[in-house]
Structures are given as structure tokens and as C-alpha cells.
Structure 1
Amino acid sequence: MAQAGGTTLADTVRAEVGAGLAATDAELARRYPGDPGTRQPVHTVYVPADAFTADTVREWGDQALAALDAHAPDPDALAEAVGLPGELAAEVYDRVRAKLLREPVEDLRIDFEDGYGTRPDAEEDGAAVAAARTVSATVADGTAPPFVGIRMKCMEAAVRDRGIRTLDLFLTTLLDAGALPAGLVLTLPKVTFPAQVAAMARLCGEFERAAGLPEGRLGFEIQIETTQAILGPDGRSAVPLLIDAAGGRATALHYGTFDYSAACGVSPAHQSMDHPVADHAKAVMQVAAAGTGVRLSDGSTNVLPVGPTEQVRAAWRLHYGLVRRSLARAYYQGWDMHPAHLPTRYAAVYAFYREGLGAAAGRLAAYVRKTGGAVMDEPATARALSEFVLRGLDCGALGPSEVAAAASLSHAQLLALSARPPLTP
């Protein structure tokens, strides 16, 4: 029997190295815990607080279906309108219609900021309470979207107290009605300095303690809408500082297309998600957030699909292309500003996952069976491939049976390959 080879280093050296890196190990685990392994919505819909009702989600779905019926009443028409590959047209079209009937909005943000503006205090107080009561009612009756919450006013001096009061009223009213929704999301806009993020984190902690909630129950998104949020006055990248200031409560970074573009001096005609200043900001966000568990969302287009069919289809082609561009750059979420954006949001998302299923499934099957193939994949790539498939399942682009047939892998096997935790019974 062959003997193991000898070693030179003493055991004490290995132990001392381990002890010396213990603090580094702990810091890595704290700062880079990895993706939370939960569903991420494909979009966020913003609705002014005074326009939000219990019927908002269904109304958006109905208006989206009406736009589809009027301007792309069949698969071929949609394919022609947005450049959807013909072989995918029927299956994508059917799934889009089913989605608009079943779950037209995945993530709803009730807006108390730009979309709401400055109102008398009594009016905003009433709107905050009404929004919370409506959210509670729709969660209870099953009509709420999977993710829902508010965008408060920012931490700048002029509106700080108003934003804090609205946040407090909203959360308190939710608790008075029973409990915080599982999919609750809070959004902090127009962040410029880490201290503002730290203040938001403190508010969340103070509310938890006062309300008897578990520590860490409240998290929040950070909107990247200012140049200072990307590059600090000392020349350092500011995004890691913002994430760190959140103390583990940051859930996502959302790019604000128009505020950020304007801050960079981009003229209105050229403000877009694909402008070079947008690409730079989003690349910085992406690198800073990698491994932290903080997710990313792209912004929106302000070109609305309204008017005659030719005009609607031009807006749809733009939106479809921008969504596909974001997906290819690993920005799996974005903002939608109008109900008629929903058909092209889901068409772009569904086409992306359905086009990629065959190759992803084949590579996963080869990886699991160690049979090799045209591409040699490593564990990190296998995780990315399984996450691709799971994202497609989450949003309805893919069905469990077709994934199982394509990859010969169960849902449990996909979870095991990904960074996601196993499903609890």
C-alpha cells in the first residue's frame, strides 16, 4: 500500500496561520454572505400614494391586456412589434397573457417621493395610513403582489422629518392591522452620503426595538440617483460605503435613470438606461454589490407606449430592447412606469429565459453527470446556470416539467447546485 508523502511545515504553522486569519474569515462572512437565495422580482412598479387602491394591481393588469389586444392581438403581431424570434412567439405570447391575468405586478412601490410631491402634513399622514391599511387588506385577501412597500422621502434636511413620519405611520399601521407582510420592501431615495444610510438603518433598528420585532426584520433598498453615491468627494467609490453603512439592512441598489443622468449634465433627449453614464454607474454598483447579498435593479424608460399603434410599437421596441440589454448585463430587475410597459417587460424576460433554457439545461446535465461537452464548466458557472433556470421558474417564464425534461434535474437538485437554501416544508 502506497504511503502518503511527507510534509515539511510544522502543525503549529498551520494553526498560527488559521488563528491569524480568523478575523479575516469573520469579516469575509459578514461582508460577503452571498445571495439571500430568495425570489427577486423582475420589476418594480411605482404608483403615487394618492393613486394607490386595492384595485391598483388588477387595473394595471387589465390595462396591460387591453394594450396587448389593441396593438399586438396575436403572437405574430407581438413578434413583429418587438422583434421577438418567431419560434418563440406563441409560447411567449401565451405566457405573457397568463401572467397579466394571474400576477401582473411582482413588486409594487407606493410612492411618497417624486411621484407624490409635497402635500400638507395632514394629507400625507392620511395617505400613509390608508396605504398601510390597503396593503394589509390585499395581503389578507391574496390580491397583493408578492412584494410591496413604500418609497419614502429622502434624508435631506428639507424633507427628512416628513419622510420619517410617513415611514413610522406606515409601519405602525401595518402592525396595528396584524403583521408586517413577508414581502415588505422599503425604499430610500436620493442618497448622497453614507450617514444618510446609517440614519435609515438606525430608524429601522429603533422601530424594531420599540415594536418588539426581531432584530434585522426591516431592510431597505438604496436608490442610486446622485453622483455622490457613486464617487465620493475623496475620490473613493462610495457604493461599498453605503452598503457598509446599512449594517446588513441593505437589500438592493436601484439605479435612478433620470436623476442620475441629470446630475451628470446629460440633456433630457439623451437620458436613458443605455447612456454611458448609466453603464458606468451600474458597473460600479455591480462590482460593489457582488457577494454582499445586496441585489441590483436597473432604472426605467420614460417613453410611454401610448397613442396610435405605430407609436405604441415604437415604445415597445425600445423597452423590449432595454430590458433584454439589462438582462444580458445581469440586471434582472427594472422599473416599469406605465401599465402598457408590462407586456414588453414580460415578453423580454420570458424570451430571455426560454432562449437560454436549452443551452443551460444541457450544460447543467453534463456538469452533474461529468460527461463533458462543448463547454467545461466550473462550480461557480454551475451555480450561475442553476440560478438562471430558477429565475426563469420564479417569474413564470419556464415550467417545472419542461425544466425537468430539458435538464433531467429536479427542483431540489437545482437548489443544491445554486446558492439558494433548500425549500422548507
Structure 2
Amino acid sequence: MRTSLDGSLLTGIAARLSDVDAARAARYPGDAGGRQPVHTCYVPADRVTGDLPAQWGAAAIEALEEHAPGPHAFAEVLGLPPELAGPVHEKVVAKLTSEPVEDLRIDFEDGYGLRPGTDEDDDAVRCAGLAATLGVPWVGIRFKSFELFERGARTLDLFLTRLAEMPDGLVLTFPKVTAVEQVAALVELLEVLEDRLGLPAGRLRFEIQIETTQSIVDDTGGFAIPRFITEGRGRVSGLHFGTYDYTAACGLSASEQHLGHAACDFARHVMQVSAAGTGVRLSDGSTNVLPVGGRESVHAAWRTHFGFTLRSLTHGFYQGWDLHPAQLVTRYAANYTFYLGNAAADAKRLRAYVEKADAGVLDEPATAQALAMSMRRGMDCGALSPADVEELCGLSESELGRLVRRESL
């Protein structure tokens, strides 16, 4: 057949584009794979004890039994559909008993405050001795921002140097980042620490807290997060939104500083677009409305936290902060409500995609991947079992994993 484009022209352009394709694949490897915690519990370092996870679980169960005893009372407080009352309540109680805390951050920053140097030194060493014994899947520290560089670096150094055992789920949280140079400085410190502690290169990774306006838009008018990720050189594992520092920096009044504000939506959308496809995971922030006091106050706080957690999940933020043991009740209730409520419809679409059936919705591979990832997250958090997923959509756990990776069945 007669054409107008000759082979040498196409070969030359293809060669140039191959470099672009390789760079894009390196920058955007896709989801990191594996389980993501549904929350991070922030606890000031001086309050961390070896039995803290069990304490939080027991306190959460006590709050549930005191303020919403039984499935029906619990469902009424949160407005759960009647068919979910029993399953959600049962799963919440089981989770609070078996694994109440998924991710614990030992806080040396805002929750800890400024203290005499020896006090912070002592707490850093003491917590390093506890880290591997706490029995939580993820654990780490939030050290002070680099506005207090020497103090932040010293606490980080003491904690890592004194670790009796390096936890597999070790996480470092870098707060109040305002400039790409701060990210570069942390990477330099971590490289030196790995060398001097005999750790493999790249072992120490960190999450960046997005809680300053400069971490959204930099002084050139461009988005800052892509530059942070680049300067992190593969060490940035997550972006965590900081509700109150960010909304305060935007000039919002105290009554408007909450997760549902449009200013927070803008910041989260920037985070989402900047991190999409990079393997860097997202976490929403916290609500400071705590479930304490009388029953009415606890119920109101639970409804607030439950609503914000569901809102985060619907916006693609599958992790958030918890500041009080009784918030665990609604953290897990919201996750179970979200995944159980969507499971049947998602499974129907996924089954139709696999079977190439006409189900009234024409899903593409990217949507099938999203459906499979939702099923996987439901299993990871305990809302669904592998048997549940297989019964719903006819896929084994390994087959589901192949769809998550966009591999053919």
C-alpha cells in the first residue's frame, strides 16, 4: 500500500520517544503494592508505653460499650443501613480486640512541644527501645521540622542509632516542609545514617506532611510536590495532609478549620494529581473534635469523624490521622461501611469485565484495575475476606492481584 511516511522518519521519532517512555515509566511505576494502613495514630513521645496499642484498643471498646452498646444502638448513632448494623459492629469489635492500631507515629513535633534537650534525648532513646516491640504493622517517629534543624536532626539520629531492631514497617514523618532544599537535606542525612549504621542504601524512607501553603505552591508559582518527590530520590513513601497548620496558614478562622473546607479540597486535589502513578501514597488529616465527655458529645464527635472518614474514602484518600483512642471506633466503622456498602456493585462490574458480559456498563482496563484495588483494600482492612471476594466476583486472591497489576487473566 502507498504511504507518505517513510521508515527512517518513523524510526528516528520512535527512538526519541523511547527515552521519554523510559523516563515516564521510572517516574510513574504505579501503586507501591501491598497493604496500606487505614490510619496513623499520633501519640506524643512522652506518653508512649510498651502496651499503648492494647491500651488504645481497650479504651475504644470501653467507649463503644458505654456510649453505643450493641449493633442497633451503634447503627442509630452513625446512621448505618440496617443490613450493615450487625456486620459492621462485629468487625469493629474484632478489630479493636485483635489489631486496634495499624500505624503508630511517635510524635516529637506539635504534640510533644519544646522541652529541655535532655528530655527529648531521653524520650528518643526510650522510644527507640520500644519501637520493635509494640506489635503494630507500621511504626516510626515524627521529628521536628527543619525550622529547628539541629533538634530535629538530633532526635532522628538518636532514634535510628539506638533502635534495638529495625522494624519492617519503619516510617519517618517529615513535618512543615516549605522548600525543596529541606527535602534534599533530609535525603543527605539519611544517606549518611544508612552508611554509618550499616543499612542498605534506600532503606530509610519518609512521608512528607503537606501542611504549609509553600508545600502546595512554591515561590515560583509552580506546584511544589512534584519537585519534593524528585528531590526525594525514591525515598518519599507518602504525603500526609495537615489540616490545622494548613488551614491556619490560609488565614481561615478557627471555626472554618476542618477537613470539609474547600481550601482543604484544593490542597488534597493537588496532592492527588502530583502523586498519581508515582507509588507515593496519600493520607488525609485529622479532626480535633474528640469523642470525650457525655454521651451526646461523644455521639456528635463520632458522627463528625465518621462523616469525614467516609468523605476521605470517597475522594481516594484511604488513610487518615487519629488522635484519640475512641476515634478508632469510627475509623474502622467508616472503612467497613464503605467497602461493604460498595462490594456487591463493584463485584458485579468486575465479574462482568472478566467474563466480557454485557452488564450495562462498559468498563475499561483502568476501571477494572480500580475495582480490583477496591476489593483488595477491603480485604486489607478486614471488611472482606478472600472467601467473600471469591463468592462475590468469582476471583481468587491471586487473580485479583493480577487485575490490580493490569495483567491478563
What is the TM-score with the length of structure 1 in the denominator? 0.93
* 2:207 aligned with 1:207: no
CA positional deviation for 1:372: 2.2
Partners of 1:225 and 1:336 in 2: CA distance: 16
Name the amino acid aligned to 2:195. R
2:136 aligned partner: 145
Partners of 1:6 and 1:40 in 2: CA distance: 54
After superposition, the C-alpha distances for 1:42-75 in whole angstroms (9 at most, x for unaligned) are 0000000000011110000000000000011111
2:270 aligned partner: 284
Alignment of 1:103-122 (within 5 A): 103-122=99-118
2:141 and 2:172 in contact (8 A); partners too: yes
1:127 aligned partner: 123
1:67 aligned partner: 63
After superposition, the C-alpha distances for 1:299-323 in whole angstroms (9 at most, x for unaligned) are 0110010111111101111111110
1:38 and 1:420 in contact (8 A); partners too: no
Name the amino acid aligned to 2:212. T
Partners of 2:323 and 2:406 in 1: CA distance: 31
Partners of 1:295 and 1:146 in 2: CA distance: 16
Alignment of 1:380-419 (within 5 A): 380-419=366-405
Moved more, 238-247 or 67-76: 238-247
Partners of 1:217 and 1:20 in 2: CA distance: 34
Partners of 1:52 and 1:281 in 2: CA distance: 31
Alignment of 1:5-404 (within 5 A): 9-138=5-134, 144-156=135-147, 159-174=148-163, 177-178=164-165, 180-404=166-390
CA positional deviation for 1:120: 1.6
CA positional deviation for 1:19: 1.6
RMSD value over aligned CA atoms?
A: 1.4
Amino-acid identity (%): 55
Partners of 1:419 and 1:251 in 2: CA distance: 19
Gaps of 5+ in 2: none
Equivalent residue of 2:158, what SS? Answer: helix
CA positional deviation for 1:8: 5.7
Moved more, 121-130 or 23-32: 23-32
Moved more, 220-229 or 31-40: 31-40
Partners of 1:246 and 1:160 in 2: CA distance: 18
Name the amino acid aligned to 2:388. E
Equivalent residue of 1:404, what SS? Answer: helix
Partners of 1:343 and 1:261 in 2: CA distance: 26
CA positional deviation for 1:123: 1.4
CA positional deviation for 1:13: 3.1
Partners of 1:123 and 1:403 in 2: CA distance: 50
After superposition, the C-alpha distances for 1:229-281 in whole angstroms (9 at most, x for unaligned) are 11112211112111112111111111100000110111111110011111111
Moved more, 16-25 or 159-168: 16-25
Equivalent residue of 2:15, what SS? Answer: helix
What is the TM-score with the length of structure 2 in the denominator? 0.97
Equivalent residue of 1:389, what SS? Answer: helix
Structure 1 runs (4+) greater than 6 angstroms displaced: none
Name the amino acid aligned to 1:386. A
Partners of 2:337 and 2:294 in 1: CA distance: 25
Partners of 1:203 and 1:15 in 2: CA distance: 45
Cα distance change, pair 275–370 in 1 and its aligned pair in 2 (3 A): same
Partners of 1:252 and 1:298 in 2: CA distance: 11
CA positional deviation for 1:209: 1.9
Moved more, 46-55 or 23-32: 23-32
Gaps of 5+ in 1: 139-143
1:36 and 1:420 in contact (8 A); partners too: no
How many residue pairs get aligned? The number is 407
Partners of 2:378 and 2:300 in 1: CA distance: 27
1:141 aligned partner: none
1:221 and 1:250 in contact (8 A); partners too: yes
Equivalent residue of 1:58, what SS? Answer: helix
CA positional deviation for 1:22: 3.0
CA positional deviation for 1:18: 2.5
CA positional deviation for 1:338: 0.5
CA positional deviation for 1:420: 8.6
